């Protein structure tokens, strides 16, 4: 079996696609490294300038953006949610894949069904629940409800199916408890898929906008809300806003640069299709 060869037309088309993908990010960096006056120049600047550090300084000094706080909050929240999703998802996934218990299939079907529920539907009462718990304006509100998802459980269950049953039996014979089996046998096999799930969850939480906007206060924001603070409070100082956008984009993108190839392989092998 041989793959088709890429002809010149294909190469040109792919180059255009790559250009379209990269252009907005490139433009963001150009403007973020210029003065705000240069950003509005005609014709527009096409190369990055030397003001990036200065713009970032202005960003962190800005009294309305609360950018440092937003960055710290986002790291905390995204990290906790990603960890929680991987941990709780892999435990449940392991149970669904390798343990026999009554009602297992029905429960797994329920997990799948929960993936179809759009978040927005529950947002109004969820907010009232947060008020009742006195969680509004606090990081718990954007963390606890999302510590595990149906997607996470399902993805981990698919991956855990690859664990050979013989290995599990052998571990049991050696006296491992169920948790011991999880730790010593299942977890090592799950690691690649767990990395994918962790990154996707981190990025998703990092990028979340609606729910933080509802439940957090602008003076104790996530990084996306910091961007929103900039966009709603200031004259269009694009150098400042794009410096903020650059910083906000960076952490997930850096993670993706490291884990990206593995994720793409996972997608291509059909693991992330739902």
Among 53, 61, 112, 267, binds another protein (CB under 8 A): 267
Peptide bond between residue 43 and the one before it cis (omega within 30 degrees of 0): yes
- Residue 274 binding another protein, by CB under 8 A: yes
CA distance to 121, 127, 128, 140, per residue, from 132 (Å): 19, 9, 6, 13
- Residue 60 binding another protein, by CB under 8 A: no
- Residue 233 binding another protein, by CB under 8 A: yes
- Residue 174 binding another protein, by CB under 8 A: no
Could you tell me the smallest distance in angstroms from the CB atom of residue 86 to another protein? Answer: 12
Which parts of 208-227 interact with another protein (CB under 8 A)?
Answer: 209-210, 213-214, 217-219, 223-224, 227
Could you tell me the smallest distance in angstroms from the CB atom of residue 54 to another protein? Answer: 17
- Residue 67 binding another protein, by CB under 8 A: no
CB-based burial label for 83 (10 Å; 0-12, 13-18, 19+): middle
Which parts of 244-263 interact with another protein (CB under 8 A)?
Answer: 244-246, 248-249, 252-253, 255-257, 260-261, 263
Could you tell me the smallest distance in angstroms from the CB atom of residue 191 to another protein? Answer: 18
Answer for the pair 107, 95: CB distance below 8 angstroms, yes or no.
Answer: no
Among 38, 52, 145, 192, binds another protein (CB under 8 A): 145
Of 6-14, 51-59, 158-166, 183-191, the window that binds another protein (rule: CB under 8 A) is: 6-14
Distance CA 77, CA 63 (A): 22
Which parts of 12-41 interact with another protein (CB under 8 A)?
Answer: 13-14, 17-18, 20-22, 24-25, 27-28, 31, 40
The string over 47-75, giving b where at least 16 C-beta atoms fall within 10 Å of a residue's C-beta and e elsewhere, is eebebbeebbebbbebeebbbebbbebbe
CB-based burial label for 6 (10 Å; 0-12, 13-18, 19+): exposed
């Amino acid at each position: 079996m041989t793959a088709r060869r890429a002809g010149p037309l294909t190469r040109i088309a792919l180059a255009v696609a790559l250009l379209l993908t990269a252009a907005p990010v490139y433009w963001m960096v150009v403007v973020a490294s210029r003065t705000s006056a240069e950003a509005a120049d005609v014709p527009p600047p096409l190369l990055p300038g030397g003001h990036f550090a200065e713009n970032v300084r202005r960003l962190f000094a800005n009294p309305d953006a609360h950018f440092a706080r937003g960055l710290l909050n986002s790291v905390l929240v995204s990290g906790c949610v990603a960890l929680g999703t991987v941990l709780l998802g892999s435990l449940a996934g392991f149970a669904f894949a390798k343990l026999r218990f009554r009602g297992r299939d029905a429960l797994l079907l329920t997990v799948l069904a929960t993936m179809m529920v759009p978040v927005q539907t529950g947002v109004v009462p969820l907010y009232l629940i947060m008020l009742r718990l006195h969680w509004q304006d606090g990081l718990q509100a954007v963390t606890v409800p999302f510590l595990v998802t149906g997607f996470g459980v399902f993805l981990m269950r698919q991956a855990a199916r690859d664990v050979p049953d013989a290995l599990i039996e052998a571990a049991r014979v050696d006296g491992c408890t169920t948790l011991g089996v999880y730790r010593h046998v299942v977890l090592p096999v799950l690691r690649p898929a767990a990395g994918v799930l962790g990154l996707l969850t981190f990025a998703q939480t990092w990028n979340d906008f609606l729910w933080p906007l509802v439940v957090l206060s602008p003076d104790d924001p996530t990084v996306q809300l910091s961007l929103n603070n900039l966009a709603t409070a200031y004259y269009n100082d694009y150098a400042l806003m794009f410096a903020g956008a650059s910083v906000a984009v960076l952490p997930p993108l850096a993670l993706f640069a490291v884990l990206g190839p593995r994720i793409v392989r996972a997608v291509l092998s059909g693991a992330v299709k739902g």
